[in-house]
Chain A
Amino acid sequence: NAGVTQTPKFQVLKTGQSMTLQCAQDMNHEYMSWYRQDPGMGLRLIHYSVGAGITDQGEVPNGYNVSRSTTEDFPLRLLSAAPSQTSVYFCASSYSRPTYEQYFGPGTRLTVT
C-alpha cells in the first residue's frame, strides 16, 4: 500500500491563480480530511469528508473547496490564491471514523506570491 499520497510536493502560485492539491489513499478509508500547518498556529482543519459524496467544513474553510466523488480521492481546490494561503497542506485519512488511527500524507508546500 502506498498509504496517503499528495501531489504536488511543492507549488508556487501568484495571487489570484487557482489550483488543485491532490490527495489519494489506497487503504479504503472512509474518513478523509485536509489540514494546513503554519508556524505558531499548529495544524488546523480545513475540510473533511466522511465518505464519497459527503463533505463538510472544518475550522478554516474560507478560500478552499473540496469534493469527494470516490472513496480514494479528496482534492482541495484554491479558487483564487492569496498570500495568506501560503502554508504546508496535509491530507489525512482513517478507517470509517476519525476515532480510528489517522494517517497523514507527506504534505504539499504552497507559496503564494
Chain B
Amino acid sequence: GIQVEQSPPDLILQEGANSTLRCNFSDSVNNLQWFHQNPWGQLINLFYIPSGTKQNGRLSATTVATERYSLLYISSSQTTDSGVYFCAVLSNAGGTSYGKLTFGQGTILTVHP
C-alpha cells in the first residue's frame, strides 16, 4: 500500500516562530488532507489539497503531486497551535479498502510562550 512519511517527528518552537512540516508519499493520490489533532484529541481539518497551494490565515499548504510531497507552513506560531499535525492521503492505485485515508505518523508540535 501507499506509504506516508512526515517530518520532523517532533518540533519545539517559541511563540512567534515559523515552521515547515513535510509529508512525502509513495504513490499518486486522489486526496490529500492536513489535520491538526488538538490536545483534546479532535481531528481538525486544515487543508484539502491534492494539488496546488492554499492559504488560511497563518497557515498555508502546498502539494506537488508530481513529486509526491506536501508542505504545511505555520507562521507566527501560537501556543494554541500545539498538538499533532497529520497528513493523510487517499491512493488512486486502488486496493483492498476503498476510501481508506492513509495517515502519516504525525509531527508533534509544541509551542512555548
Q: Which residues of A contact B (CB under 8 A)?
A: 31, 33, 35, 42-43, 45, 48, 50, 56-59, 88, 90, 92, 97-104, 106-107, 109
Q: Which residues of B contact A (CB under 8 A)?
A: 30-31, 33, 35, 41-43, 45, 48, 50, 88, 90, 96-101, 103-106
CB distance from B108 to the nearest CB of A (A): 12
Which single member of A45, A106, A109 contacts B101 (CB below 8 Å)?
Answer: A45
Interface majority SS on B: helix, strand, loop or mixed? loop
Count how many pairs of residues, one from A and one from B, have CB atoms less than 8 Å apart in the complex.
62
Q: List 11 A-B contacts (CB under 8 A).
A: A43-B101, A45-B97, A45-B100, A48-B98, A59-B96, A92-B101, A101-B48, A104-B43, A106-B41, A107-B41, A107-B43
B98 touches A56 (CB 8 A): yes
